[in-house]
Amino acid sequence: LSLMLIASCAKVSSPTGGPKDEEPPVVISSEPENGSVNFDRRSFEITFDEYFILDNIDQVLMISPPLNKKPKILDRGKSLKVELDEEEELIEDMTYSFNFLNSIKDLNENNPIENFKYVFSTGDVIDSLSVTGHIYNAFNLEAGEEIFVILHSGMSDTLPEKSLPAYITRASENGKFRIDNIASGEYKIYGLKDDNNNKRYDLPTEAFAFLDSSIYITSENNYIPVMPDSLVQVSDSTVIMPEQDTTMLEEVINEKEDSFDSLKYERIPGKEYELYYFITDNKNQYLSGTDRSEPYLLQFVFSLPVDTSSLRMQFAETEKEVQYIREFSAKNDTVKIWLTDSAFYSRERITLYLVHPETDSLGQLQQVSDTLNFMYRDVSRGRGPRAAMVKNKLPLRTNLSQSAGLRPGEQPAFVFDSPVIDPDTSLIKLFIRSDTVQIRQQYHIHRDSSNSKKFILKTTLVPDSNYVFVAEKGAFNNIYGHYNDSIVYNFKVRNPDQFGQLIMNITGFKGKIIVQLMDTKEDIVREKKISLPDESMIEFPYLDNKEYLVKVIFDIDGNGEWTTGDYDIGLSPEPVTYFDKKIEVKKGWEMIEDWQLTGIWGKNESISTTRGAKKKK
């Protein structure tokens, strides 16, 4: 009985001694053979020389063309069996590729079989052409990792949305893609970040890429496999010349495949395709949210910028006209209603009838009516005078800082979260400080023309000098009686010699562009909008000493910002490009860089003509 128990508990395990196993599993046999033609089975099985594991096989396995039903993947010790669903109907005269990538690993040391594929054809030949390229994020040119690249053989523009692709692959982490075993012909090529894993572009949140025209896959401009013994297999999709001029070859890729005996892929010079993926902006207008964070503040948010003249409001349960201040966000997609009657906004519930634009089921903009209930309960009631005191404080944000300081020409600024009245300048003082002496300075404070809740303090500031800004209690007040506490800011105006300057001479394009100076994390430091060739020289003065990136957005529609693509109307995203190196700015230095943009945008030129240097991931 003891012997039986020991035997029943036995399992495969790592050896306790000897050299480390660094070899992946080796294919012993396949049934039917890898590379079989006239395939009519419901399964295939691959046997290895050792036990193995399947690492994340459900996510890694790439089947091209994709199947309608998910196959069963069975681990049988040293054998791997793939069973097709009983309802799966294979396409006639089609080459199928099961790409396991690096998911098959030996049991002990996880050594993977690199890019293992099993291929069969339901017809008489194995289609052997390939297409290669790269896919990038259209906005920042980052590599499109984990993005599907798909081919459709039909020319209908609705195929990516309604049908499974003819061929599919997944881009690698550097954005490179390659689809093998393709029949020659005309195709449409797309990129897709498939959020719902159905191989279709059917969600508005999915990233997508497309080319304006078809591609033609032929033996003259695509990868073709060459048998080691120079045997030539000829079909309508395979034309291989045994005595090909090797001086024309650009790349050789070796792939280990069972029964293919390490096919050597040779590339005849041809085009590699570049795809740029994007997410289409929301097209439907609707009221996306409401909020009442303060008793006197009502806020509603729209999915798109709204025409301010299209809004109509009426408050319920009141006979007199309600007084308020209406504020729109910079993009006109958010509306804030600042109520000014304390007797009215002290209610726990305020009901508002709102007439606003909304997109209907036919895609047309219509005026609709909504009844909005705004609730607010003051949880600070009953908590004593300290709670009331805190609520009466008026927070502000400023650019004054002793550590960072102001750049030459920069003025002190103060920003508030709620509407404020004009400040009491008798309670505001500005001093220039030298050692222990403080000399009062003249100033003028005014409201910013683009932001009514922002004030600018105008004065003559001396570079490389120290200042003190003092605002006594109550100097700033909002319309609700909230006021600032006493504040003192010590700040410095920095010496111009601490900065560097960058001058960019940009040529090679005619039209509007947006030039963005960014730090190495791609946070925008400065931005300028210019029109070439009239404004080819751009100056960025008073820059901190560090490395910068420079990006250009080709503002084709002239709206002053990057515009994404829209496949439904055939609109490609606005192209962008990056200067081909980081620019190190040093204090006291004036850096001058010349930048010849690639290509000139025109009616017959593709977007890719204006792509510049890619950033390496």
Mean pLDDT for the chain overall: 85
Total domain count, the chain: 5
Query: What pLDDT was estimated at residue 448?
Result: 94
Query: What six digits make up the tokens of 435?
Result: 């050692």
Using one digit for the tens of pLDDT, what is the confidence trace for 518-560?
999 999 999 999 999 999 999 999 999 999 999 999 999 999 9
Query: What six digits make up the tokens of 553?
Result: 């957005």
Please tell me whether residues 262 and 166 are part of one structural domain. Answer: yes
Q: 387 phi and psi, to 5 degrees?
A: -65, -45
Query: What six digits make up the tokens of 101?
Result: 């990538």
The verdict on residue 405 lying in a domain is: yes
CA 393 to chain CA centroid, Å, is: 40
The answer to whether 169 touches 179, Cβ cutoff 8 Å, is yes
Please tell me whether residues 447 and 542 are part of one structural domain. Answer: no
Please tell me whether residues 199 and 326 are part of one structural domain. Answer: no
Nearest to 577 by CA among 604, 601, 558: 601
Is the pLDDT confidence value at 110 over 80?
yes
The verdict on residue 617 lying in a domain is: no
Separation between Cα atoms, residue 142 and residue 615, nearest integer Å: 7
The secondary structure of residue 492, as a DSSP letter, is E
Q: Who wins on pLDDT, 225 or 175?
A: 175
Please tell me whether residues 235 and 133 are part of one structural domain. Answer: yes
The verdict on residue 4 lying in a domain is: no
Please tell me whether residues 215 and 143 are part of one structural domain. Answer: yes
Q: Rounded to 5 degrees, what angle do the CA atoms 536, 540, 544 make?
A: 155
Out of 92, 121, 150, a domain closes at: 121
Which residues, in sequence order, are bridge partners of residue 437? 434
Query: What pLDDT was estimated at residue 154?
Result: 85
Mean pLDDT, residues 209-218: 92
The residue type at 175? G
Please tell me whether residues 434 and 312 are part of one structural domain. Answer: no
Out of 91, 121, 151, a domain closes at: 121
String of b and e for 268-289 (b: at least 16 CB within 10 Å)? Answer: beeeebbbbbbbbeeeebebee
Please tell me whether residues 350 and 412 are part of one structural domain. Answer: no
The verdict on residue 184 lying in a domain is: yes
Separation between Cα atoms, residue 244 and residue 69, nearest integer Å: 42
Please tell me whether residues 137 and 180 are part of one structural domain. Answer: yes
Please tell me whether residues 344 and 436 are part of one structural domain. Answer: no
Sign of the torsion angle spanned by Cα atoms 148, 152, 158, 161: negative
Least confident of 168-177, 267-276, 341-350, 603-612: 603-612
Predicted confidence band of residue 109 (pLDDT cuts 50, 70, 90): confident
Query: What pLDDT was estimated at residue 221?
Result: 73
Please tell me whether residues 252 and 140 are part of one structural domain. Answer: yes
The secondary structure of residue 61, as a DSSP letter, is -
Please tell me whether residues 369 and 401 are part of one structural domain. Answer: no
Mean pLDDT, residues 26-40: 96
The CATH number given to whatever domain includes residue 312 is 2.60.40.1220
Please tell me whether residues 144 and 249 are part of one structural domain. Answer: yes
The verdict on residue 601 lying in a domain is: yes
The verdict on residue 16 lying in a domain is: no
Separation between Cα atoms, residue 303 and residue 358, nearest integer Å: 10
Three-state secondary structure of 402-433: CCCCECCCCCCEEEECCCECCCCHHHEEEEEE
Nearest to 141 by CA among 603, 600, 552: 552
Out of 466, 497, 528, a domain closes at: 497
Predicted confidence band of residue 391 (pLDDT cuts 50, 70, 90): low
The verdict on residue 262 lying in a domain is: yes
Domain range spanning residue 421? Answer: 391-497
